[in-house]
């Protein structure tokens, strides 16, 4: 039986896969390209948690991390963080090529907006610098644009409308093998059964949902892989007014701590604290890590309207795992504890209970009513979140928080201390990040010796929407040019 032939098959339609497809369409319109997307179309991705309802897993396909637009979720806001955020891409591409790709990716992502977004995050006030300096911390400065819910919707719609490439939804790439005579044979699981196609090039842009499946596919192809540098942690949710001042100056506040005050490296992650705060998101991994687990993320908002209580804001705090064996063992150890403590579903305790390692937790209905703000998720239970962590990890997280929140409160001119907020801040877990193995890639994001490219989160180099789009463009440029290196200095 003859199988269809495509010059390029792209698996995953998040920002990386989309940027790759758009760039191929612009640069090599004669190529036959197929997009495969394991999730649903962008406008068919409701998340019950967004409406305060229980996470149901959405029929085996988490609508937050799967679908046209990937983690760019219709109805959410997002931050576009530019280089040097994702600075490992500068090492990967070289300074000039990385800057060019970043400018092109940002221009493409924002082209549908009625006006260019305002960039914050640079030229911070003396007050911000000295507030953090007083705690021995420094803020990483880089330009960040906040796209509110309406603007991100426009971006996602434009990505969809502007693309004429063939796209199969609910279609998951499950196998890719070298084909005799060149190219690859791919197998795709669809609702109609498994289909086979031949491809000149295969681009893996499978993001968070594909985290373990893509690594095992690459291992089967013999691609050298570097294990991930796993980080685990929590998200702190609080009254949005506490984070608004620093969130306005730097919407993607990134603070790393690696000194004698913390045993393990600690860093803030995905800061969601502008004037309108942000919401918690659940990311359901289904069977990616064995028995199902749900982890956390967050997103910034601009359009919410407070009801009876003030809005919530949040930020993540992560620490590198230590003392749990190799990367595989560390992941199994952390997730095993999570399943034992909370059946793999997000849970919470008060900041005071987290700091003091209190075994008993206030029941969620009481706790949520006592909070001085409206919690963003109503589907929580309470439990001993602190028990997820080794004593060293817990000590690093609490010492790290003390300094970060201390600096934020000082900068905001608040007279309260971290301790004063013991009953007013919610500690929600777990955050699990930097889970991607890193395949060996050249500057065109191609693996050694095969017409296979790995881009976006799946490449394990840098996370982020702009960063994913940069890699998508680089791979497309390499494919279009018939070479493995991107065309340095050339636009899309």
Ligand X SMILES: Cc1cc2nc3c(=O)[nH]c(=O)nc-3n(C[C@H](O)[C@H](O)[C@H](O)COP(=O)(O)OP(=O)(O)OC[C@H]3O[C@@H](n4cnc5c(N)ncnc54)[C@H](O)[C@@H]3O)c2cc1C
Our CB check for ligand X shows the closer of 367 and 465 to be 465
- Residue 206 CA to residue 224 CA, distance in Å, equals 18
- Angle subtended at Cα 475 by Cα 464 and Cα 206, rounded to the nearest 5 degrees: 50
Sole window of 23-31, 75-83, 361-369, 415-423 interacting with ligand X (rule: CB under 6 A) = 75-83
Helices 15-27 + 465-481 axis angle, to 10:
30
End-to-end CA distance of the chain: 38
Q: How many CB atoms lie within 10 A of CB 142?
A: 18
Q: Which residue(s) pair with 472 in the sheet?
A: none
* Interaction of residue 268 with ligand X, rule CB under 6 A: no
Is 67 a binder of ligand X (CB under 6 A)? yes
The binder of ligand X chosen from 121, 148, 153, 210 (CB under 6 A) = 210
List the one residue from 209, 254, 279, 394 that touches ligand X (CB under 6 A): 209
Q: Is 37 in the site for ligand X (CB under 6 A)?
A: yes
Nearer to ligand X by C-beta: 14 or 346? 14
Does position 376 bind ligand X by CB under 6 A? no
Q: Which stretch binds ligand X (CB under 6 A): 33-41, 102-110, 126-134, 226-234?
A: 33-41
- Contacting ligand X (CB under 6 A), which of 13, 218, 245, 401? 13
| 172 contacts ligand X (rule: CB under 6 A) | yes
CA angle 350–65–168, rounded 5-degree value: 165
Query: Does 375 contact ligand X by CB under 6 A?
Result: no
Kindly state the smallest distance separating residue 100's Cβ from ligand X, in Å. Answer: 19
Asked if residue 22 binds ligand X (CB under 6 A), the reply is no
Q: Tell me how far apart the alpha carbons of residues 429 and 316 are, in angstroms, rounded to a whole number.
A: 9
Among 47, 58, 65, 232, binds ligand X (CB under 6 A): 65
Tokens of 242: 């506490």
Q: Is residue 110 within the footprint of ligand X (CB under 6 A)?
A: no
Considering only residues 274 through 333, tell me which ones interact with ligand X, judged by CB under 6 A.
Answer: 281, 283, 297, 299
Q: What string marks each residue from 423 to 462 as x (binds ligand X by CB under 6 A) or -?
A: ---------------------------------xxx----
Residue 108 beta carbon to ligand X: minimum distance, rounded to whole angstroms: 13
Is 473 an interacting residue with respect to ligand X (CB under 6 A)? no
CB-nearer residue toward ligand X: 178 or 406? 178
Distances (CA, A) of 332 to 283, 286, 329, 389: 18, 15, 5, 13
Q: Is 50 a residue that touches ligand X (CB under 6 A)? A: no
Nearer to ligand X, 279 or 394 (CB): 279
Contacting ligand X (CB under 6 A), which of 71, 276, 390, 398?
Answer: 71
Q: Should residue 207 be labelled a site residue for ligand X when binding is judged by CB under 6 A?
A: yes
Name the residue among 342, 319, 349, 123 with its Cα closest to residue 236.
Answer: 349
| Whether the Cβ atoms of residue 419 and residue 405 lie closer than 8 Å to each other | no
The answer to the question of residue 418 lying near ligand X (CB under 6 A) is no
State the nearest-atom distance from the C-beta of 118 to ligand X, in Å: 16
Site for ligand X, rule CB under 6 A: 11-17, 36-39, 64-67, 70-72, 78-79, 81, 172-173, 205-210, 213, 281, 283, 297, 299, 456-458, 463-465, 468
């Amino acid at each position: 039986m003859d199988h269809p032939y495509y010059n390029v098959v792209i698996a995953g339609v998040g920002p990386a896969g989309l940027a790759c497809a758009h760039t191929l369409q612009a640069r090599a319109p004669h190529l036959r390209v197929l997009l495969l997307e394991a999730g649903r179309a962008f406008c068919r991705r409701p998340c019950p948690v967004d409406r305060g309802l229980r996470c149901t897993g959405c029929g085996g396909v988490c609508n937050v991390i799967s679908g046209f637009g990937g983690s760019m979720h219709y109805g959410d806001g997002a931050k576009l963080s530019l280089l040097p955020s994702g600075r490992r891409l500068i090492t990967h591409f070289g300074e000039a090529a990385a800057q060019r790709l970043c400018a092109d990716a940002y221009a493409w992502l924002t082209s549908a907006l009625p006006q260019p977004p305002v960039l914050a995050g640079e030229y911070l006030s003396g007050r911000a610098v000295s507030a953090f300096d007083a705690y021995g911390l420094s803020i990483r400065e880089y330009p960040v644009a906040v796209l509110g819910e309406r603007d991100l919707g426009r971006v996602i719609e434009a990505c969809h409308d502007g693309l004429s490439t063939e796209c199969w939804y609910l279609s998951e790439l499950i196998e890719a093998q070298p084909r005799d005579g060149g190219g690859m044979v791919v197998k795709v699981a669809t609702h109609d059964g498994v289909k086979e196609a031949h491809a000149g090039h295969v681009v893996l842009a499978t993001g968070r949902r594909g985290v373990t499946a893509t690594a095992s596919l690459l291992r089967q192809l013999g691609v050298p892989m570097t294990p991930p540098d796993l980080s685990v942690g929590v998200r702190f949710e609080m009254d949005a007014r506490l984070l608004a001042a620093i969130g306005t100056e730097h919407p993607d506040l990134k603070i790393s701590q690696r000194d004698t005050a913390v045993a393990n490296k600690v860093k803030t992650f995905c800061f969601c604290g502008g004037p309108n705060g942000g919401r918690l998101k659940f990311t359901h991994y289904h069977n990616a890590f064995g028995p199902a687990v749900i982890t956390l993320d967050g997103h910034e908002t601009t359009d919410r309207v407070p009801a009876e209580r003030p809005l919530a804001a949040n930020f993540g705090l992560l620490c590198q795992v230590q003392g749990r064996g190799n990367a595989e063992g560390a992941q199994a150890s952390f997730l095993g504890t999570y399943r034992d403590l909370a059946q793999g579903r997000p849970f919470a305790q008060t900041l005071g209970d987290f700091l003091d390692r209190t075994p008993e937790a206030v029941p969620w209905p009481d706790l949520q009513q006592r909070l001085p703000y409206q919690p963003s998720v109503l589907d929580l239970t309470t439990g001993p979140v602190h028990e997820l962590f080794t004593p060293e990890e817990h000590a690093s997280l609490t010492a790290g928080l003390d300094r970060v929140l201390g600096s934020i409160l000082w900068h905001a001119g608040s007279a309260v201390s971290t301790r004063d907020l013991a009953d007013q801040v919610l500690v929600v877990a777990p955050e699990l990040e930097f889970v991607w193995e890193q395949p060996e890639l050249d500057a065109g994001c191609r693996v050694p010796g095969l017409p296979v490219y790995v881009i976006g989160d799946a490449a394990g180099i840098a996370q982020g929407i702009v960063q994913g789009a940069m890699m998508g463009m680089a791979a497309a440029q390499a494919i279009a040019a018939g070479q493995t290196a991107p065309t340095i200095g050339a636009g899309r």
